[in-house]
Amino acid sequence: MSEIFLISDPHFDHANVIAFGGRPFSCVNEMNEVLIEKWNRVVGKRDVVVCLGDWGMSTSSYKIASRLRGRKRLVMGNHDKGNLRELSRHFISVHGSLQKRNMLLTHIPIVFDEYHRFGVNIHGHLHSDNPRDPLPRERYININMDVWRRTEAYAPIPLEVVSSLAGRRLE
């Protein structure tokens, strides 16, 4: 049986994110290799992984997808480049957003005044988890890999873990 995973902001081939995101890597090659190893440790061949944007810093970073297990979907982020033809070589689908149950999956957090039919916005983009952030915590869950610490760091997150957290926030 296949499982669905989420991940956001891997920033493959992006050297500056090591300092910006506070990642514990000495260089971009080490970061890429550790992210690949952690991904392949938790994701099976038939699983689906939805990346909530910022896959990498260049179109060549999409080639890393061939080294990763599972079927990959991309929700476009502000650093993702390329046309749909090129992206479809690496991802089974490319989106602006996705809906899973009562969760809206986006890269950048959305304004809920316009999207009140969704319970929770699962997003990335924000590389810090500032408690003074104006986003109401019960409606937003940041899964940016530089922030998420509920499961193994820098690895895809089972959708059920995020869904459970979303359910508790809405109670």
Q: Is the pTM of this model over 0.85?
A: yes
pLDDT in tens, 85-142: 888 999 999 999 999 888 999 999 987 666 667 788 999 998 887 656 666 677 889 9
- Over residues 153-170, the mean pLDDT reads 87
Per DSSP, helices labelled H in 10-158 are 16-20, 28-42, 84-87
Closest CA to 58 of 38, 86, 85, 37: 86
Residue 94: both structure tokens together: 């490319």
- Look at residue 6 in the predicted model and tell me its pLDDT: 97
Distance, CA of 170 to CA of 5 (rounded, Å): 21
pLDDT in tens, 27-68: 999 999 999 999 999 999 999 999 999 999 888 899 999 999
Strand ranges of the sheet holding 98-100, from the earlier edge strand across to the other edge: 98-100, 103-105, 120-123, 140-142
Neighbouring CB atoms inside 10 A of 113's CB total 6
Closest CA to 16 of 52, 56, 51: 56
Helix (H) or strand (E) holding 161: helix 159-170
β 98-100/103-105 pair status = antiparallel
**Whether the predicted pLDDT of 168 surpasses 90:** no
Which domains are delineated in the chain?
4-170 (3.60.21.10)
